[in-house]
Amino acid sequence: MEWHQDRDGFNAQLNRADMNGVLLNIIRAKNPSHVGMKGVVVMDRKCTFTIVTEKSGTKIIPKAGCVFEIFWTKPDEKKIQLFGKYFCIRPEERATRRVRLIMVPIL
């Protein structure tokens, strides 16, 4: 089954996923200096991601107001846009609770 055919199952899987170690690219942000920043997530908190970049070390990026692009590699490579405002919840609550993840684009 293709991942886009079972969107609810994929959303649930993405919602429970551990974001530590994920390669993250910021494609839109309220703070223009964050746009284009790319790094690996080392800490996932309720309202922020801490990422390690190649050039400037660690950066704390707020989730709200940002659109992230994550690289999903298994079973095949995909780029997924993640709207940070829908991920402002503690990671341990995301993993255990049934959280409704609404993926509506910001127009």
Output the pLDDT for position 37: 94
Q: Edge-to-edge strand order for the sheet containing 57-62?
A: 57-62, 48-53, 38-44, 23-29, 66-72, 78-83
Domains in the chain and their CATH numbers?
7-96 (2.30.30.210)
* Mean of per-residue pLDDT scores for the chain: 80
Question: For residues 78 and 22, which has the higher predicted lDDT (pLDDT)?
Answer: 22
Q: Percent of the chain having pLDDT more than 70? A: 76
For the chain, where are the alpha helices, taking DSSP H only? 7-16, 91-96
Output the pLDDT for position 82: 85
pLDDT in tens, 28-64: 999 999 999 999 999 989 999 999 999 889 999 999 9
Question: For residues 31 and 6, which has the higher predicted lDDT (pLDDT)?
Answer: 31
Give the whole-angstrom CA distance, residue 12 versus residue 77. Answer: 19
Output the pLDDT for position 16: 73
Give the whole-angstrom CA distance, residue 78 versus residue 26. Answer: 16
Return the sign of the alpha-carbon dihedral for residues 50, 53, 58, 64: negative
Residue 96 — very low, low, confident or very high, per pLDDT cuts 50/70/90?
Answer: confident
Please count the helices (runs of H) and the strands (runs of E) in the chain.
2, 6
